[in-house]
């Protein structure tokens, strides 16, 4: 065990944990005031639900002994064999428990990301059922494929901190969710406006802060690689904030605060798979491109007519896809991509992108349909009109 | 007696109130309202999507005055509340049949 590494990764795990309440704030500011608590709850409760699922069965499915490159065995179920020393630990410098809880925080935020797609209209109980099934049947296999000894990692696909596992998977599930739940009442007929943008900006700031744990921590040790990931994370986010407001300034005449916050998110998402594989200047290029790509991706929603309430597909889906592809183009640290003479890497990345989208979209779509048949996905029109805060939780966010 | 309703920009409230006080008006009511006139509100843009927001915030000031004060009120309010841009508001004048001061039972001009 390396105690410096252990200290660093425990702090990183805490940073990543803070991203989920940060995401709750980010999302909550973007909905109408009658849904502020319902939206916060959809993210916040994942800290409860997923942490328990992860300890009971999820961690083992993702990081247990490989079965055919597809899934982990149940040898770590109930955290059996996950102890305070490095025995069995996938990172031999870290106590097994440290590695497990760091990974747990990634598992927590991923289903929370999806909730942005169907904000303001999904039943809370059905969300709990869907998220349970999704974690076990979609997230755990994805994590195993990429990081747990599964086929995607074996093939050589590069995903430093979760471009496929976290962002493309949640983006694909978000698209399935938006299609299965349908549009919000009044969508396209009346303006559905964010009720508290300062809350959203604060949430974006918390996400940015936590993302250092997400990306730098994915080095799994307190070394130069972690420093590289930290630097690329900062630069990509910064560049994407600039390019997003730049493109909207040209397109709509004004740079908006929501644009700056969305650009930061787009850059963070895009650099996630690449953070430890590219240099700082490549990170700036990846960030600049991601601001423009995700801005256009968000516009796509109104062209295609689905209601991805808070743009999970546009930002996490497209940003993650661009990041995964960019990793194959710009990799120069510990791996080489197309621009550094290795065209094969780009091809591997493309295969991993297609497989991730196909698997996650089809599985998520099926899970949404199953939950719909069993419990119904959507609240009643009256409940939707009065808002999820009162109808689902018997609370109101503001007493003004 | 006439009731004068002044619909104006919120930031003009203090100036209008001061002007009315100078004319000797002792009481008025204010409410925050929303509405639109010919300008039809404004546009907001979120992540590149445009939304038309029809209702813009205004204040409504209501006073009841003796008939001979009406002209002065109209002139003074126009002077202080005008910016020359769309959205300056309107003034409505309507007749009042009777006024009663609840505390004393006075009626008519002396109750204003």
Distance CA A350, CA A346 (A): 6
Residue A262: its chain B contacts at CB < 8 A? 47
> Which pLDDT score, from 0 to 100, does residue B51 have?
83
Of A191, A258, A311, the CB nearest to B53: A191
Distance between first and last Cα of chain A: 54
Fold of the B2-111 domain: Alpha-Beta Plaits (3.30.70)
Contacts of B45 in chain A (CB under 8 A): 248, 252, 254, 256
Q: How far apart are CA A210 and CA A222, in angstroms?
A: 16
Please report the DSSP string for A116-172 in residue order. GGGTTTB-HHHHHHHHHHHIIIIIHHHHHHHHSS-HHHHHT---SS-IIIIIIHHHH
Q: What is the pLDDT of residue A238?
A: 98
Dihedrals phi, psi of A273, to nearest 5 degrees: -70, -20
For residue A399, is it within any domain? no
Assigned token pair, A111: 């289903």
A 266-325 → B contacts, CB under 8 A: 295, 298-299, 302, 311, 314
Q: How far apart are the first and last CA of chain B?
A: 9
Q: Do B48 and A194 touch (CB under 8 A)?
A: no
- Please count the helices (runs of H) and the strands (runs of E) in chain A: 18, 2
Any idea what DSSP says for residue B107?
A: B
CB of A149 less than 8 A from some CB of B: no
Contact A23, A207 (CB under 8 A): yes
CB–CB of B101/B56 below 8 Å?
no
**Closest chain B C-alpha to A250 CA, distance in angstroms:** 11
Domain region containing A319: 3-393
Contact A371, A130 (CB under 8 A): yes
3-state DSSP assignment of residue A2: coil
**CB-hemisphere CA count at 13 Å for A92?**
0
Return the CATH number at A143: 1.10.3430.10
Q: Give the DSSP H/E element, type plus range, for residue A303.
A: helix A280-304
* Percentages of chain A per state (helix, strand, coil), in multiples of 5: 75, 0, 25
pLDDT in tens, B78-108: 999 999 988 899 999 999 999 999 999 999 9
Q: Chain A contact for B49, CB < 8 A?
A: yes
CB contact under 8 Å between A259 and B50, yes or no, is no
Least CB–CB distance from A295: residue in B48, B50, B52? B48
Nearest to B51 among A191, A295, A298 (CB): A191
In the numeric block, the tokens 């940015």 are attached to A208
Which residues of B fall within a CB distance of 8 Å from A256?
Answer: 45-46
* Regions in chain A scoring below 70 on pLDDT: none
Residue A345 lies in a domain: yes
- Whether residue B45 has pLDDT greater than 90: no
pLDDT at residue B52 in the model:
81
Q: Which of A194, A251, A314 sits opposite B46 (nearest CB)?
A: A194
d(CA A265, CA A31) in angstroms, rounded, equals 17
- Choose among B95, B68, B85, B106: nearest CA to B5: B95
For residues A66 and A149, is the Cβ–Cβ distance under 8 A?
yes
Q: State the pLDDT at residue B39.
A: 75
Q: CA dihedral defined by A304, A306, A311, A312, rounded to 10 degrees?
A: -110
Residue A353 included in any domain? yes
Asked whether the predicted pLDDT for residue B44 surpasses 90, the reply is: no
Phi/psi of residue A379, nearest 5 degrees: -70, 165
**Contact present, A41 and A393 (Cβ < 8 Å):** yes
What is the token pair recorded at B78?
């126009």
Q: Say what the ipTM of the complex is.
A: 0.74
Would A226 be classed as within a structural domain?
yes
Distance to chain B for A252, nearest Cα, Å? 7
Nearest Cα residue in chain B from A261 = B47
Residue contact B47–A254, C-beta within 8 A: no
- d(Cα A325, Cα A346) in Å, to the nearest integer? 7
Q: Does B50 touch chain A (CB under 8 A)?
A: yes
- Of B61, B59, B57, B76, the residue nearest B3 (C-alpha): B61
Token digits of residue B48: 């590149």
Neighbouring-strand partners of residue A378: A122
Read off the tokens for A76. 């770590």
Count of domains forming chain A: 1
For residue A254, the chain B residues in CB contact (below 8 A) are 45
Q: Which of A170, A120, A92, A193 is nearest to A386 (CA)?
A: A120
Q: Which residues of A103-122 are buried (b: 16+ CB within 10 A; e: fewer)?
A: bbbbbbbbbbbbbbbbbbbb
CB contact under 8 A, B48 and A193: no
Helix (H) or strand (E) holding B8: strand B2-8
- Predicted confidence at residue B41, as pLDDT, reads 80
Cα–Cα distance between A37 and A25 in angstroms, integer?
A: 10
Q: What is the pLDDT of residue B86?
A: 87
Mutate to test the interface with B, among A29, A32, A256 (most CBs of B within 10 A): A256
DSSP state letter for B39: T
Interchain proximity B45–A254, CB inside 8 Å: yes
Alpha-helical runs (H) found in A218-279: 224-252, 257-271
- Residue spans of alpha helices (H) in chain B: 13-22, 70-81
Q: Which of B44, B48, B52 sits opposite A251 (nearest CB)?
A: B48
- Residue A252 forms contact with B (CB below 8 Å): yes
Q: For the CA atoms of chain B, what is the radius of gyration?
A: 17
Q: Which of A191, A254, A311 sits opposite B47 (nearest CB)?
A: A311
pLDDT score recorded for residue A3: 97
In a domain, A24, yes or no: yes
Task: Report the alpha-carbon distance of residue B30 to residue A225 in Å, rounded.
Answer: 64
User: Is A248's CB within 8 Å of B53's CB?
Assistant: no
Which chain A residues are closer than 8 Å to B50 by Cβ?
Answer: 252
Task: Decide if B47 and A251 are in contact by the 8 Å CB cutoff.
Answer: no
- List, as one string, the DSSP characters of A159-208: -SS-IIIIIIHHHHHHHHHHHHH-PPTTTTTS----S-HHHHHHHHHHHH
A287 assigned to some structural domain? yes
């Amino acid at each position: 065990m390396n105690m410096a590494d252990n200290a660093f990764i425990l702090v990183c795990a805490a940073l990543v944990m803070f991203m989920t309440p940060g995401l709750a704030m980010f999302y909550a500011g973007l909905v109408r005031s009658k849904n502020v608590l319902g939206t916060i709850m959809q993210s916040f409760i994942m800290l409860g639900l997923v942490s328990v699922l992860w300890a009971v069965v999820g961690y083992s499915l993702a990081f247990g002994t490989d079965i055919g490159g597809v899934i982990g065995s149940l040898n770590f179920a109930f955290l059996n064999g996950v102890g305070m020393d490095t025995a069995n630990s996938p990172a031999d410098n870290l106590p097994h428990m440290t590695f497990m809880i760091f990974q747990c925080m990634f598992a927590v935020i991923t289903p929370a990301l999806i909730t942005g797609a169907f904000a303001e209209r999904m039943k809370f109980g059905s969300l709990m059922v869907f998220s349970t099934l999704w974690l076990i049947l979609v997230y755990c296999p994805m994590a195993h494929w990429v990081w747990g000894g599964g086929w995607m990692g074996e093939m050589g696909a590069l995903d430093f901190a979760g471009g496929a596992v976290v962002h493309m998977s949640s983006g694909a599930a978000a698209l399935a969710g938006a299609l299965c739940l349908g549009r919000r009442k009044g969508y396209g007929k009346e303006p559905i406006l964010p009720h508290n943008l300062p809350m959203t900006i604060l949430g974006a700031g918390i996400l940015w802060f936590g993302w250092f744990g997400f990306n730098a921590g994915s080095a799994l040790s307190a070394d130069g690689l972690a420093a590289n990931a930290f630097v690329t994370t900062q630069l990509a986010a910064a560049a994407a904030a600039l390019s997003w407001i730049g493109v909207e300034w040209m397109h709509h005449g004004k740079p908006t605060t929501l644009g700056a916050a969305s650009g930061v998110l787009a850059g963070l998402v895009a650099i996630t798979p690449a953070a430890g594989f590219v240099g700082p200047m490549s990170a700036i290029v990846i960030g600049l491109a991601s601001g423009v790509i995700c801005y256009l991706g968000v516009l796509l929603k109104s062209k295609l007519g689905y209601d991805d309430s808070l743009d999970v597909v546009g930002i996490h889906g497209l940003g993650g896809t661009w990041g995964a592809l960019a990793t194959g183009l710009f990799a120069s640290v510990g791996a080489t991509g197309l621009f550094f003479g290795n065209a094969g890497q780009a091809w591997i990345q493309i295969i991993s992108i297609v497989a991730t989208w196909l698997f996650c979209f089809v599985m998520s779509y099926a899970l949404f349909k199953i939950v719909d048949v069993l419990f119904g996905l959507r609240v009643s029109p009256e409940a939707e009109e009065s808002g999820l805060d009162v109808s689902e939780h018997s609370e109101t966010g503001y007493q003004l | 007696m006439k009731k004068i309703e002044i619909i104006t920009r919120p930031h003009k409230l203090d100036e209008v109130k001061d002007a009315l006080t100078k004319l000797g008006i002792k009481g008025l009511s204010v409410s925050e309202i929303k509405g639109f006139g010919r300008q039809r509100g404004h546009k907001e843009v979120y992540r590149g999507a445009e939304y038309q927001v029809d209702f813009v915030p205004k204040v409504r000031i209501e006073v009841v005055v003796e008939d001979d004060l009406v002209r002065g009120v109209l002139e003074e309010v126009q002077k202080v509340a005008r910016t020359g841009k769309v959205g300056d508001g309107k003034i409505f004048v309507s007749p009042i049949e009777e006024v009663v001061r609840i505390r004393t039972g006075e009626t008519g001009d002396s109750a204003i």
